[in-house]
Amino acid sequence: MQFVSSNFFPISIAVFSGLMLIWSFVGNRIRGIQEVDTTAALQMINHKNAVVLDVREPAEFAAGHVLNAKLIPLGKLKERIGELEKYRDQPMVVVCRSGNRSGNACALLSKAGYTQAYNMAGGMTAWQSGKLPTVK
């Protein structure tokens, strides 16, 4: 017991870090966000005419993005969601750098009634690691 009380702060940090790690694996499932890996995303783009929504900032987008991706930064998505209305009935692959912002975007899209919004797990980092094509 003395060990715990003497090392309360480091133990707390370790427990919190563990919880954050667990949340990163199951958080999107709990929030009802559908995820796809890069292979499934590519299949959706090529065979189901999926729209790619990139929610990164313009400088990130300019450095490299998926062909024909539509850029709407996450911070502006709520006010610009009307631009996506014509794609409501199509699958939508939502992309950011790592998959975190795109998860939040999927949650927002889901609340707005977009039932086919898919978070691309790993984001552009996974896309580029898979040596999939990007354009600048």
How many whole angstroms separate alpha carbon 54 and alpha carbon 97?
9
Starting at the earlier edge strand, list the strands of the sheet with 34-36.
34-36, 117-120, 92-95, 51-54, 70-71
Q: C-alpha dihedral over 55, 56, 62, 64, to 10 degrees?
A: -90
pLDDT of residue 24: 54
The pLDDT tens digits of the residues spanning 48-71 come to 999 999 999 999 999 999 999 999
Higher pLDDT, 31 or 56: 56
Q: 12: pLDDT confidence band, cut at 50, 70 and 90?
A: confident
Annotation says 106 is catalytic: no
* CATH architecture label of 33-129: 3-Layer(aba) Sandwich (3.40)
* Structure confidence by residue, pLDDT tens digits, 100-130: 899 999 999 999 999 999 999 999 999 999 9
Catalytic entry in 84, 92, 96, 117: 96
Residue ranges of the domains in the chain? 1-30, 33-129
